[in-house]
Structure 1
C-alpha cells in the first residue's frame, strides 16, 4: 500500500527539488535532491549501505521543512534485528549485564557441562565468536561489566566461567558486586552501547528471554548511559581478579 505523504516544502522558488515530504502514518521523512556523485565525497560517508543513495540538501531546507518535534514513541527492535547490530558497529560495543541469569545461556551445551562440573567446551566457530573476534582483531573494543549478587546465582557463576571465552574473543570483561553497583547509582537496566552514540536497552520477560530492544539515539539520553558506562568501568574489577577473590572468600 502506498504511503500517505505530505509535502512539507522546498527551498527552491519554483517548487522543484530538493524537497521534504513526511509520511503521515509513520512520521518518516522523505527527502529528495541532487545525487552526490563525487567518489572522493562518497568515500567520506559513514554507514552508507550499498543500496542507499546519498543526496545533497541545503541545510536551511531541512531546518525550514523538517519536523521540529522529536518522536516520543520508543523504537523497538525484535531480537533478530538487534543481532545484526553486532555486524555493523565500527569502534565499540559495551554491555552492562544486570540480570541474575539469561535464558539463552541456560539453553546451551556449555551450561549443561558447567552444571556437571565439567570444563565447558567453548565454540570458537559460532556466529557470535566469529563476529566478535573479527571485530576485535580489526581494532574495535568490545567489553562488558557483569553485576554479581552475593552469593552469586547459578547463572552468574556460569558467566564467571564464560568470561574466559569472552576474553579469548578479545573482549574486556569485568565484574562488580550488586551492592557496589547500587552504591554508584547504576540502574537495574541491561543495555548495550554501540559506538558511544546508540544505546540498545534490552527488554526481558519473567523467564529471562530477550523480547525486544529499545533503541535510544537522543544525545542527552545517550550521554547519560555513557556516564553510567564510565562509572561501571571505573569501579568494576577485571574478571580474573574477581574470580580469584571470590574463590578465596569461599574457601
Structure 2
C-alpha cells in the first residue's frame, strides 16, 4: 500500500533537501493550472504575469543562493496542448528565479521508454510520486524511499535530463511549428 505524505508537509521537501530537487512532468495538463487566474490570463491574452514574487519563486531563489539545484523536465506533445503551452510560457518566471526547466518531446520520451509518472526526486535518495485522477486532479503524493525504486527514478532523471532541451531553445522549436 502506498505511503502518502500529509499534504501539509509537501512544501517542507523543497526547503529540507540538501542538494537537488528534480521533477518529471508527464501529463498533458493539470486541473490546478486550468483553474488558476494565471492560466485564464494566458488563454485570453497569451501572456503570463511577471509574478516572480510568488512563494515558489522566492523559495527557489533562496535554495539556489544556498547552492542547491531545482530542476525539472516537462514532456510535451507535438502539437502541444494549451496547458503545455501555458507551462512553457510560465517557465520563464521560474527560470528567472533560478529553477532550470527543460522540455522533451513526447515522441523522444517514448523512445527513451520514460514512464508516464510525475514525480519529484530529492537528493537521489527519496521521491514523491504524484498521483492524479483521469481529470488531472491531484490526489496526493506517495513517499518513496525504497532504494530500488529511487534508483529507477535516478535512471529516469538521467535519461530525461540528457535529452531535454532548455526552455528558450524548446520555445523556438514550438514557435517554428505553429
TM-score tier, shorter chain, comes to: over 0.9
- RMSD, aligned α-carbons: 1.3
User: Which aligned pairs between 1:1-251 and structure 2 lie closer than 5 A?
Assistant: 73-250=1-178
Give the paired residue count.
178
* Contact 1:110–1:122 (CA under 8 A) maintained in structure 2: no
TM-score calculated relative to the size of structure 1: 0.68
* Contact 1:93–1:143 (CA under 8 A) maintained in structure 2: yes
Could you tell me which runs of 5 or more consecutive residues in structure 1 were left unpaired when the two chains were aligned: 1-72
C-alpha separation in 1, matches of 2:34 and 2:65: 29
* Contact 2:52–2:94 (CA under 8 A) maintained in structure 1: no
Displacement of 1:118 in angstroms is 4.3
Q: Which runs of 4+ in 1 moved over 3 A?
A: none
TM-score calculated relative to the size of structure 2: 0.94
Bigger relative CO (Cα 8 Å, ≥ 6 apart): 2
* Contact 1:143–1:171 (CA under 8 A) maintained in structure 2: yes
The structure that is helix-richer by fraction is 2
C-alpha separation in 2, matches of 1:80 and 1:122: 27
Looking at CA atoms only, which structure, 1 or 2, has the larger radius of gyration?
Answer: 1
SS at match of 2:101: strand
Specify the alignment match of 1:12 in structure 2.
none
C-alpha separation in 2, matches of 1:141 and 1:101: 25
Displacement of 1:249 in angstroms is 2.1
Could you tell me which runs of 5 or more consecutive residues in structure 2 were left unpaired when the two chains were aligned: none
